Structure 1
Amino acid sequence: MARILVVDDEAAIRELVQGALKSFGYQCETAPNAAAARALLKAQDFDLVISDVIMPGENGLDLIAHVVETYPDTGTLILSALDDPALTQKALDLGIYGYVVKPFDMTSLRIHVACALKQREVQMANRRYREDLERLAEQRTRELHRQQQDYAALVTNLPCVVYTGFTDWSVAFVSEKVRDVTGYEPEVFLSGQKRWSECIVPEDLPTLSEPLKKAMARDGTFIREYRIVDAHGQIRWIQDRGRVILSPESNLDHVSGVFFDITEQKKVREALEQAKEEWERTFDAVPALIQVSDKNRRILKVNAALANRVGIPREDIIGRSCYDIIYGRLEKCPQCPWDNAESLNFPLEREVYNEHLGGYFHITSAPLYNSDGSLAGCISVSHDITALKEAEQEVRRAHWELEQLVSAISSILIGLDPQGRITRWNTMAESVFGLLSTEVLGKKLEDLPLEWQWERVQLAVESCRRKKRIHRVEDVRFTRPDGQPGFLGFTINPMRLDHDTELGLLIMGAEITQRKLLEAQLAQAQKLESIGQLAAGIAHEINTPVQFIGDNTRFLEDAFRDLSRLLEKYQELVQRARQAEDLANLVREVEEAAETIDLDYLLTEIPRAIEQTLEGVQRVAKIVLAMKEFSHPDREEKVPTDINRALENTLTVARNEWKYVADLVAELDPNLPLVPCIPGEMNQVFLNIVVNAAHAVKDAVKDQPDTKGTITVATRVVDDWCEIRVADTGTGIPEKIRHRIFDPFFTTKEVGRGTGQGLAISHHVVVEKHKGQLLFETEEGRGTTFIIRLPMESS
């Protein structure tokens, strides 16, 4: 049964809600204020807290924030008479499960409470799932690290060279022992400075493809022997044992295997060519071999498996030495254990590689005694463990494939040991940072030659170690290998290895530069869209009063023209009235009145005032029209566009940016044809460049308040291009930053004046979307000309 705490300063509300909740089947406690609620929360566990917002003392939102932070398993619900969107948003930001507005009905309350409790259960389940997933990831990471160590130790201790190579003789992996065999460092082959075929004696090279063909037709394994020339010019014999790996199309993809330096063995085998032929005939024999020998190493008895393995009739084996039959030697084996049989501990077990039999063997030997207790001989059982060795090679191959899988992960993956040294650096990390894993393994992050915000990463690393929990770092600035700026996002995970008491770290990340650029472009587009909507609204609002002002002014103009004709008649009447004696006084009064109001001045100035008013109305109408056209809803496809008209609208809208600092010169080609483009996006480009020009001129004349610069906008047709030039007499672009002006987020302007997106977005629109060109010519102290070229034909 869920336990619910109701917090409200009104007793009637508390009782009403408590009664309703109990009728719904819940346990319910109440508190008149936040202080009482805190006390109950400290003493009891609650599944849900329902709180009013406005209460004496601490308000409900602060209480909810306390519950969310202190009791994460407790759900929260707001019950308030305030239906304020801002308050609602603030409550939602705190993480509440619901918002019930007073007055409410019981059905609504029941639904909100049930939904809040259900949401609490889901969130608790999600949190448990995330915790289980993090534990599993940590466990898998420890296992991966342990397997990596085992793999490295195995490769290091093998008495042979482990390799992976391709059909063009390039090498993807080769163990350190290649140095002992060839005299070359592994990096010489791994970096491609030297291909393995360059070491092989030329006359042996043509014979090496046939074993691979046979392996592809059989079980995939091969053995081949050939000569190489080492770094000192010496000839060495190599025995190459491996397996071919096929592509999904059943073509040879690569080869994995081991090779041994058999130079000394080869010298012996050349002297014993007949014995070598016998070894080759018995190479695929059954692996269980049993022999009985006397103390002089003469074979007394063998089983069928050994006879089949050596390829000699059993009767021909009897009486011959074990080293002759088993090891193909003319004399006893060096360091033969039976030289000191009396001092050995039996049974004697050892693991050897038998070149004659072509495999690894685990040999168990036990003595045979005479009746008097003296040593008569021995019995030996040899188990072929070649398959086990091949399985070990398969394990190594699996480890290699695992390494390839880790390298193929599309996220940056960096492992750090407890001392902060790099233990893992995958392919994506190599690509993003431009540093190979061989260059960074064993080093510390802070010692790498990287241009990035290391302080932020370092703080996150220290916080992760200290708090032993995952830490996220966003928007880390860095310089990419191509010199361009970029952004990274990291998740830092604590990782404890079985043999370490201190924490290691697993850093996973991704380059988010493109995402940041898209976000900035979206913000810029939304900003321009808002400005366009505002401009359209203002234009609409201005248009109505301008309309009736213009109409009224034209009415006054027509009316004054009629009045002027009437006044002319009045003047004529006054002239004639002067001759009438009885009207002389009245004429004088009229003349005095005309003199008092300065009728001549009014007749001159009123038409001029009306003319200026009409001119002002026309200018306002022109601005309104430009704003409406500039803010017209954008199109997604190219349409034939009047570039001159678009520039005029842009210059009109941006007039406030340039009119105080520069004189504008427009040299627009009147015969310029329509150009296919996306009008709204090109308006944005024109606006960005004109505003940049105005800022450059302002910087140039800031110390000369009475001086203005010049901005010249020109259009013309050049070959198959429409060329738009925007020239300013500003400060010019310094040579050291010219290569970066189209980079995203790069700006030389002070904070609040530029985002570094204007020219980047303009370059994207002109070059990427319109397949045009965006160039510039500049001279420090003289000014800059930006050149936009748009193709006349739509592509």
Structure 2
Amino acid sequence: MARILIVDDEKAIRQLVSAALHDFGHQCADAADAAAARVLLEEHPFDLVISDVNMPEESGLDFIAHVIQTYPDTATLILSVLDTPAVTQRAIDLGIYGYVVKPFDFASLRIAVDGALKRRALEIANRRYRQNLEQLVEERTRQLRAQQRDYEILLKTLPCIVYTGRKDWSVCFLSDQFEAVTGYPREVFLSGKKRWNECILPEDFSAAVEAVKKAMTNDGAFLREYRIRDGQGRVRWIQDRGRIVFDENGAVDHVCGVLFDITERREAREALKQAKEEWERTFDAVPALIDVTDKDFRIRKVNEAFARRVGMPREHIIGRFCYEILRGLPEKCPQCPYGEGGPPSRFLDREVYNAHLGAYFRVTSTPYYNSDGSPAGCISVSHDITALKKAEEDARSAHRELEQLIAAIPSVLIGLDAQGRIVRWNATAENVFGLRALKVLGKPLESVPIEWQRDRLEAAMTSCRQKRKPQRVDDLRYTRPDGQPGFLGLTLNPVDMGLRQEMGILIMGADITQRKLLEAQLAQAQKLESIGQLAAGIAHEINTPVQFIGDNTRFLQEAFRDLEDLLEKYRELLDLARQVDGLSEAVRAVEETADAVDLEYLTAEIPKAVAQTLEGVHRVAKIVLAMKEFSHPGQEEKVPTDINKALENTLTVARNEWKYTADVIADFDPQLPLVPCIPGEINQVFLNIIVNAAHAIKEALNGQPDAKGTITVKTRAEDDWCEIRIQDTGTGIPEKIRHRIFDPFFTTKEVGKGTGQGLAIAHAVVVEKHKGHLGFESEEGKGTTFIIRLPLESP
């Protein structure tokens, strides 16, 4: 039963047609003009509209045009007394379903109405089939493109020609695929013998140039498609996707991009277009299998494709059962979706495997009805999707391979959708961050319980989405949920999600904490080596002048002792001269000169000054020697080392750090044997701990004038170990952070005062390189003792 709207300005005609159609089993409504009919159409859907041509105000043809444009699922029929060529031609141009001339008989009216309704049902089925097919193709294409993008990102391969060209159309780089696509040797173009514009067909050349001109006014990116004539004379379609690169003056420097051979795609597009046009023109041109069956499952009509597929002439098919022809069965299929009640009462869409034809089909079925509204049968469209099913299996196989590949990648891999939600979190990410994928998938990245430099990461993500280019983030600090800190090196890659041009992000990277620690150790070693080289240079430059200053000062000391003996004799001679007449004036002159130069003061102070000078020279030589012995430049192997001497040198070098805040007590074991170690690195351990001790004491003193703490350094030999204890009277280490003291880059100092590397490096040197032990004892408010134990024998 169909809903039919009758529009005619003559009430008698409306009543006559309504009564006739009601007898045919249809439900009818009527309107006296187009305006009333428009209201009814807005309120209720109709399967068919029957309209007169001549009506007051809006004509029937204009109204029919409105119906066809606004309600494409509604069939239209003209019922008019007019039968002029002009009216007939416009009705044909509008695409009406039938034209009944008044006066009419009920038989012709019924035939026209049934024909219009059946054609409408066929067109709706055809459109739905096309829509479903296009959606399916679009969905499969989107999935394949997404998988292809993943492969391109991970494997860095491109199924295309990569090129770099000059503005005169010559090229300076072509990838290996060039010859396979174009049929020309690369050398012909790279040598300048041939230019790319010579291959483009003349009729496409102006559009190709225009695309570049347009790109120059925007961001330089362009996308163009044109035809070329390859080396064998064949015409091939090329998609040219590239970017213009400008020099610092804004002039074109070169062009780079990729060339895709889209010949097959263009041919397929053209074939699809032709097939669509042919489908609209003729039923038989449809490549799908179309069959029209009645309610008893007998075939009433098939297209040419159906006949070819089953291998029978159409005249041998018509009238036989569908299950007999399509399935090769003597009775109705057990799994038939129509059930016992005949054809379906609604649209059906399903995928089936037809063993008789050996193929997969996507079958859409739409019912059609008798004039009395009872089901007459159905129209089925079967499309062979065997190749598509194979493509789905290939896609699933490719997806499995991709998942295996991703699982094998030893890098952190985090995928984000366009809303920033996590869609991928591989095993390496689980290990690095200590978070299982099940706990983070589907959540926004910012909600993950990882502390990191969010401003740097968010800025890189924003730039990645806006520029649609990979972004690099180096040395990104982060802290795991368990409190363990570290560094990351990340690359953010844009991923086109294919929906409304939204961009996702694929984050790839690695934990570079160990590398940073090694770099810090190397920097410390280089710094120590530089100090050693500087100390050697200072010793070379200072030792000689210090030596002759010392030698000359000792000479002056000894010479002054001789002069003192001589002065004593002069005093005795002066006493004798006082008793001789005539020498009184000379004696007085000598005494006045002695008083003028303060001879008594000079004879008392000159020996003291000389002694102090010798003491200063000795101290200078001692400091230079301590710096030289502290650094051991170039020493990379373990050697027997005097630990007491090493600590003494370290205290001398670090004196400026502790002399104003602490007194140092050195309690060294004089019987301590030599310890096998790398002197420069062990000295660095001592220096870090002593400097930390001085800083802790300074913090504990809190600016108290004239107050000092104490740093006590002890050495002892215990069994097969050398034990060094460095104790301070500082603030102590809070209980809550003691477990993190040796973590790389952990520090409690303010920014600029500490890097958090000192104790981590010390731990690595003592424990990993020397197979020793490094620990501490601490009491808040009273101080800390670091305990270093080194084996007396090399392990």
- Give the TM bin, normalised by the shorter chain: 0.5 to 0.7
Counterpart Cα distance in 2 of 1:2 and 1:739? 62
Residue 626 of structure 1 aligns with an amino acid whose one-letter code is: A
Residue 535 of structure 1 is matched in structure 2 by 535
Instruction: State the one-letter code of the partner of 1:711.
Output: I
| Alignment match, 1:788 | 788
Give the Cα separation in 1 of the matches to 2:670 and 2:745: 37
Against the structure 1 CA distance between its residues 754 and 415, is the aligned structure 2 distance closer, same or farther, given a 3 Å change threshold? closer
Secondary structure at 2:747 match in 1: coil
In structure 1, what is the equivalent of residue 579 of structure 2? 579
The 8 Å contact of residues 632 and 680 in structure 1, kept in 2 or not, is answered as: yes
Structure 1 residues 362 and 614, CA gap change in structure 2 (3 angstroms): closer
> Hey, what does 1:589 align to over in structure 2?
589
* C-alpha distance 494-723 of structure 1, shift in aligned 2 (>3 A): same
In structure 2, C-alpha distance between the alignment counterparts of 1:488 and 1:429, rounded to whole Å: 11
Name the counterpart of 2:724.
Answer: 724
Verify the 8 A CA contact 2:732 2:783 in the aligned structure 1: yes
SS in 2 for 1:723: strand
The residue that corresponds to 2:457 in the other structure is 457
Say whether residues 1:487 and 2:498 are aligned partners: no
1:745 is displaced (CA, Å) by 1.7
Which residue identity does 2:749 align to in structure 1? K
Q: Deviations over 1:412-444 (max 9, x none)?
A: 222222232222222222222233333322222
Q: 1:771 to 1:524 in 2, by over 3 A?
A: same
Q: Offset of 1:560 from its aligned partner?
A: 0.5
For 1:605, the equivalent position in structure 2 comes to 605
How much has 1:485 moved relative to structure 2?
0.7
1:460-501 Cα deviation digits (max 9, x unpaired): 222222232222222222112542111222222222244543
- 1:676 match: 676
- The number of residues matched between the two structures is 472
One-letter amino acid matched to 1:607: P
The two structures, once aligned, show a CA RMSD in angstroms of 4.3
The alpha carbon displacement at 1:777 in A equals: 1.4
Give the drift of 1:609: 1.6
Can you list the C-alpha shifts for 1:148-173, whole angstroms capped at 9, x where unaligned?
xxxxxxxxxxxxxxxxxxxxxxxxxx
Contact 2:733 2:779 in 1 (8 A): yes
- Range with greater deviation from structure 2 (594-603 or 549-558): 594-603
* 2:639 is aligned with 1:639: yes
CA contact (8 A) 2:644 2:668 kept: yes
Q: CA shift at 1:322, angstroms?
A: 8.4
8 Å contact 2:635–2:678 — kept in the other structure?
yes
**Offset at 1:638?**
0.6
- How far residue 408 of structure 1 moved from its aligned partner, in angstroms, is 1.8
Aligned-pair CA distance for 1:398: 5.2
Q: How does 1:178-327 map to 2 (within 5 A)?
A: none
SS at match of 2:722: strand
The 3 A distance-change label for structure 1 pair 69 and 423 is farther
The aligned counterpart of 1:554 is: 554
Q: CA deviation at 1:132?
A: 5.0
Q: Is the 8 A contact 2:528 2:680 kept in 1?
A: no
User: What amino acid sits opposite 1:557 in the alignment?
Assistant: Q
- Whole-angstrom distance in 1 between the partners of 2:783 and 2:343: 101
- Give the structure 2 partner of residue 466 of structure 1: 466
Cα distance, 1:570 vs structure 2: 1.1
1:519 aligns with 2:519: yes
Alpha-carbon separation, structure 1, partners of 2:697 and 2:454: 38
Shift of 1:720: 1.3
Contact kept in structure 2, 1:408 and 1:428, CA below 8 Å = no
Structure number with larger C-alpha Rg: 2
Say if 2:436 is the partner of 1:436: yes
Tell whether the 8 Å contact from 1:536 to 1:631 is kept in structure 2 after alignment: no
TM-score (norm. length: structure 1): 0.53
Tell me, in whole angstroms, the C-alpha distance in 1 between the residues paired with 2:541 and 2:563. 34
| 1:337-352 alignment, distance < 5 Å | 351=352
Structure 2 CA distance for partners of 1:350 and 1:558, relative to 1, 3 Å = closer
Which whole-Å CA distance do the structure 2 matches of 1:646 and 1:717 have between them?
A: 16
Runs (5+) with no aligned partner, structure 1: 4-41, 44-65, 75-123, 137-296, 301-305, 307-320, 324-330, 365-384
Letter in 1 for 2:445: L
For structure 2, list consecutive stretches of 5 or more residues without a partner in the other structure: 1-164, 168-215, 218-244, 262-320, 364-384
Q: Deviations over 1:116-149 (max 9, x none)?
A: xxxxxxxx69xx4xx659x99xxxxxxxxxxxxx
- Residue of structure 1 equivalent to 2:768: 768
**1:338/1:729 Cα in 2 relative to 1: closer, same or farther (>3 Å)?**
closer
Q: Distance in 1 between matches of 2:511 and 2:769?
A: 24
C-alpha distance 584-419 of structure 1, shift in aligned 2 (>3 A): closer
Amino acid at match of 1:593: T
Displacement after TM superposition at 1:766 (Å) = 0.7
The one-letter code matched in structure 1 to 2:531 is I
Q: Residues 389 and 521 from structure 1, CA distance in 2 versus in 1: closer, same or farther, beyond 3 angstroms? A: same
Instruction: Provide, for residues 668-687 of structure 1, a one-character-per-residue CA deviation record: whole Å limited to 9, x for no partner.
Output: 11111000000111111111
In 2, the alpha carbon distance for the partners of 1:556 and 1:448 equals 78
Write the mapping of 1:669-708 to structure 2, written as runs, cut at 5 A: 669-708=669-708
- The answer as to whether partners of 1:634 and 1:681 remain within 8 angstroms in 2 is no
Q: Do the aligned partners of residues 761 and 332 (structure 1) sit closer, same or farther apart at CA in structure 2, a change above 3 Å counting?
A: closer
Q: Is contact 1:539–1:624 with CA below 8 Å preserved after alignment? A: yes
In the alignment, the residues of structure 2 paired with residue 392 and residue 596 of structure 1 have an alpha-carbon distance, to the nearest angstrom, of 116
CA contact (8 A) 1:668 1:716 kept: yes
Confirm whether residue 544 of structure 1 aligns to residue 555 of structure 2.
Answer: no
Aligned to 1:507: 507
Alpha-carbon distance change, 336 to 645 in structure 1, aligned in 2, over 3 angstroms: closer
Matched to 1:484, the amino acid is Q
